[in-house]
Chains A and B, each alone.
Chain A
Amino acid sequence: MRTRVKCATPALAVLSMLLVLITAVGPAAAQGRSPIRIGEINSYSGLATVYTFPYKEGLLMAAKEINDAGGVLGRPIEFIFRDDKLKPDEAVKAARELVGQEKVDFLAGCISSGVGLAISAYAKEAKTLYFATHCQTSRLTWDDGHRYIAHTTNNVNQYVRALAKKAATLPYKKWAHISPDYEYGHNVWDEFIAYLKHLKPDIQVMQENWPKLGETDHSSYVTALLQSGADAFISSVWGAQEIAFVKQARPFGLFEKVHYISASVGNPDELEPLGKEAPVGAVTPGFAWYDDGMQKRHPKLADWVKKYTDRTKKDPTLGASWGYASAYIITEAIKRAKSAETDKVIAALSEGYEMEFPWGKVIMRGCDMQAIPPQWVGVVKMNAQGKPVLADIEETHGKDVIRSCDEVAKLRAAAADKKK
């Protein structure tokens, strides 16, 4: 009995001290300018960190700038981060906790489209406004769109159409593809080939390849592409899988025989590790902040890049620019609403607005609360130091390729019909 009491005493002491601390901190935080709190759910462990770490840096950099300049409506903004472990159920658990216990004003985040759609469904039910900041499926604001979701970054429709627009200028009629066999892969291929045929009706599809997501051996697909008779192929495998694909395809001489068009190989997370094995000549979208043409078109870009590298000691990525833009787009919505109340912020978003960023104009479209940024397509080349870079950048604005508000309304109606 005695020993038990002995143990219990220090435990009680610690507990009471904790209680004192909590009561001491509680009212203090509520005093003065209470921050506008945004629950940010993203994949901060495991394989997606290659995208989410730069994204978070961009987000925090913007948040610091905003708060140093006095915040919004005289209140600072604060992000509360949660790890979704790349799983929809974990993300929804985090969202519940953020809304229920942390009492956040808004939700934000997502890298995986599956996670984004899950948070979106929860946001609709909880009537909390959710800003999808990092995942790209067009379904977020279109087929599955609703009042409580805004998308602050690019969607698949825009950059794939920009890529198809470029592909239509190439002298190829016979096409093949390699796409991972899941939502995103099908989405990219469908959007790409439909828009390409729309621009250039005599397109022929020679052959299709559907490896599973995360496949590590692509030799049989490489052989199939070589024998397909196609002039060019589009790839939507991405990240580590695309690196493996490129490394496996090179010795077969695939890229010399069939022109390589890729939805993602121009991103630094793929180009850098590929190094001298990078597929020179590949046509691909990407954020080439280092490109002379880009910096001339966007004079403020160099400054922003310097601020980012000073802060993080790393080169920026597309994800970093998205994190940065997202924080400002959310803040702008609150500023226009003159309130952090959900309904008023939604009303401000529904009116739509435009913002200038160091890389160009981003339109927040009112009808679907979808961001429309500039789009870039370039060609992979080796620079003077023998490092692969994206060059010959061509810029299109998303507004010139994106589906119109009327088309979006049709998509939503069709999706609603399907549910019935």
Chain B
Amino acid sequence: MSGLSVGMLLFLVSVGMSLIFGVTRIVNLAHGSFYMVGAYLMVTLVEVLPDRPWAFWLALLLAPLGVAALGGVIEIGLLRLIYRRDPLMQLILTFGLILVIGTLVLLAWGPDNKSVSRPEALAGSVRVFGQPFPSYYLLVLGLAPLVAVALWLVFYRTRFGMLIRAATVDREMLGALGVNVSALYTQVFMFGSWLAGFGGALAAPTVAVALGMDSDVLTTAFVVVVIGGLGSFAGSFISALLVGLLQSFGILIFPAISIVLLFAIMAVVLIVRPWGLLGRPEE
């Protein structure tokens, strides 16, 4: 069960990464940093807002929006300049962003570990199949699939979603048809950042908010995206659950090789289906 909720958090982060890659073809290495900023914003908002039950929920709403704004600034100010450069340049830029954001977080929030308390109502545990289960995880289990369904609706039932799908197939053609591709890129990048920020804000009460949480999540999100297929949303969902469960139960079943297991599965997927479980082969 807790493996499922870990998987859900991973899904939020990796689907954002996958979305950004699908449309802009940029592998956003700073995605883990957005996750970290989301968690830190959550800390500050919970501190600043009055000590009321609704403060937590308002913070959970605002923190990801803050990350989305940050994503917007970065897209317009930096990424826009290098879409046409070779992919190596883009990797160097987003890698640089990891270091810059990491240092800025240290300057803004200081070196101390932080923590967000769970809202009073979700601090305890409930019994599921006779086992105690932290009730906060139920929230995660509920919210993340909600986001997944919302994503699906946006992609397949709205014009915005149609444009995004079109952009993943043929950007030039979309531009030639008179769509403002550069505005679309900004929106997609902000949306992807929002997802990472939401993942971070939602994860904050279950972990310590500390420097270094960016690289932890980045590695795992990468594995999720690669297994699921870059640019595939359903793939991200399935593989995030797989990885989440593997991380929780792999340890119980194969304690000695649980860390290797994750990467072994990734390797097998890459050999059998280099484009991931549900990805499309590149032409």
Residues of A within 8 A of B (CB): 45-47, 49-50, 52-53, 210-212, 214, 216-217, 219-221, 223-224, 239-244, 247-248, 250-253, 269-270, 272-277
Check if A244 sits within 8 Å of B136, measured CB to CB.
Answer: no
Any A CB within 8 A of the CB of B211: yes
Using A47-B211, A244-B207 as known contacts, say yes or no to A220 and B248 having CB atoms under 8 A apart.
yes
B-chain residues with CB within 8 Å of residue A247 when the two chains form the complex: 115, 205-208
Residues in B lying within 8 Å of A, measured CB to CB:
2-3, 6, 102-103, 106, 111-115, 117, 123-125, 131-136, 205-213, 216, 247-249, 251-252, 255, 259
Expressed in whole angstroms, the Cα–Cα distance for A374 and B260 within the complex equals 42
B106 touches A216 (CB 8 A): no
From known contacts A216-B207, A217-B247, A244-B206, infer whether A239 and B113 are also in contact, taking CB-CB under 8 Å. Answer: yes
Provide the bound-state CA to CA distance between A253 and B125, in Å.
Answer: 9
Tell me the smallest distance from the CB of A209 to a CB of chain B, in Å. Answer: 9
Interface centre among A210, A211, A221, A273 (most CB of B within 10 A): A273
> Shortest Cβ distance from B46 into chain A, in angstroms?
11
Task: Verify B207–A50 contact, CB threshold 8 A.
Answer: no
- A252: chain B residues at CB < 8 Å are 125, 132, 134
> Contact at B208–A240, with CB atoms within 8 Å?
yes
Residues of B within 8 A of A47 (CB): 210-212
Q: A251 to B125, Cβ gap below 8 A?
A: yes
Q: Let me know if B216 and A220 touch, CB within 8 A.
A: no
CA distance A277 to B206 in the complex (A): 11
Give the residue of B106, B134, B249 whose beta carbon is less than 8 angstroms from that of A49: B106
Closest residue of A by beta carbon distance from B252: A220
Counting chain A CB atoms within 10 Å of each CB, the highest count among B3, B125, B251 belongs to B251
Q: Show 12 A/B contacts (Cβ-Cβ < 8 Å), sorted by A.
A: A47-B212, A49-B106, A49-B111, A52-B111, A53-B111, A217-B3, A217-B247, A217-B248, A220-B248, A239-B210, A243-B115, A251-B123
Measured between beta carbons, the chain A residues less than 8 angstroms from B106 are 45-46, 49
Contact check: which of A49, A212, A251, A270 meets B136 at CB < 8 Å?
A: A251
Question: What residues of chain A lie closer than 8 Å to B209, measured between beta carbons?
Answer: 273
Specify the chain B residue showing the minimal Cβ separation from A270.
Answer: B113
B115 near A50: Cβ-Cβ < 8 Å:
no
Query: Contact between A273 and B114 (Cβ–Cβ < 8 Å)?
Result: yes
Task: Point out the residue from B103, B112, B134, B212 that lies within 8 Å of A251, measured CB to CB.
Answer: B134
Kindly list 8 other residue pairs between chains A and B, CB separation below 8 angstroms, not including A240-B212, A252-B125, A269-B112: A49-B211, A50-B111, A50-B113, A239-B210, A248-B2, A252-B134, A272-B112, A272-B113
A224/B252 contact (C-beta < 8 A), A251-B134, A277-B115 known: yes
Hey, which chain A residues are within 8 Å of B114, CB to CB?
273
Asked if A217 meets B115 with Cβ closer than 8 Å, knowing A244-B207, A248-B134, the reply is: no
Take A47-B210, A49-B106, A251-B135 as given contacts and tell me if A274 and B115 are in contact as well, using a CB distance cutoff of 8 Å.
yes
Complex contact A216–B2 (CB within 8 A): no
Give the one of A45, A214, A243, A247 with max B CB within 10 A. A247
A251 touches B132 (CB 8 A): yes
Among B3, B133, B212: residue with most chain A CB under 10 A: B212
Asked whether A240 and B213 contact (CB < 8 A) given A46-B102, A50-B111, A53-B111, the answer is: yes
Q: A240-B113, A247-B115 are in contact. Are A273 and B208 (CB under 8 A)?
A: yes
A219 to B2, Cβ gap below 8 A? yes
Bound Cα distance from A276 to B120, whole angstroms: 11
CB-CB nearest 4 A-B residue pairs: A49-B111, A243-B208, A219-B2, A47-B212
Contacts of B208 in A (CB 8 A): 239-244, 247, 273
Q: Which of B102, B113, B124 contacts A243 (CB 8 A)?
A: B113
Residues on the A chain within 8 Å of B132, using CB: 251-253
Closest Cβ of chain B to A58, distance in Å, is: 15
A219 and B113 contact, Cβ closer than 8 Å, known pairs A47-B211, A243-B207: no
Specify which chain B residues have a CB less than 8 angstroms from the CB of A243 in the assembled complex: 113, 115, 207-208, 210
The CA of A59 and the CA of B82, in the complex, are separated in Å by 45
CA distance A52 to B131 in the complex (A): 41
CB of B193, distance to nearest CB on chain A (Å): 21
> What residues on A are CB-neighbors of B259 within 8 Å?
212
B117 and A276 within 8 A (CB): yes
A113 to B142, CA, bound (A): 42
Give complex CA distance A214, B259 in Å: 12
Q: How far is the CA of A223 from the CA of B210 in the complex (A)?
A: 25
Contact of B113 among A217, A221, A273 (CB under 8 A): A273
Give the distance in Å from the alpha carbon of A239 to the alpha carbon of B209 in the complex. 11
A262 to chain B, nearest CB (A): 15
Q: Which of A210, A217, A219 contacts B255 (CB 8 A)?
A: A210
Instruction: Give chain A nearest CB distance to B162 CB in angstroms.
Output: 37
Docked Cα-Cα span, A241 to B207, in Å, equals 8
> In the complex, which residue of chain A has the Cβ closest to the Cβ of B7?
A217
Closest-CB distance, A30 to chain B (whole angstroms): 35
In the complex, chain A residues whose CB is within 8 Å of the CB of B213: 216, 240
A273 to B131, CA, bound (A): 28
Roughly how many angstroms separate A214 CA and B210 CA in the complex, as a whole number? Answer: 11
**Partner of A220 from B2, B117, B133, B206 at Cβ < 8 Å:** B2
Known: A211-B251, A247-B206. A46 touches B212 (CB 8 A): yes
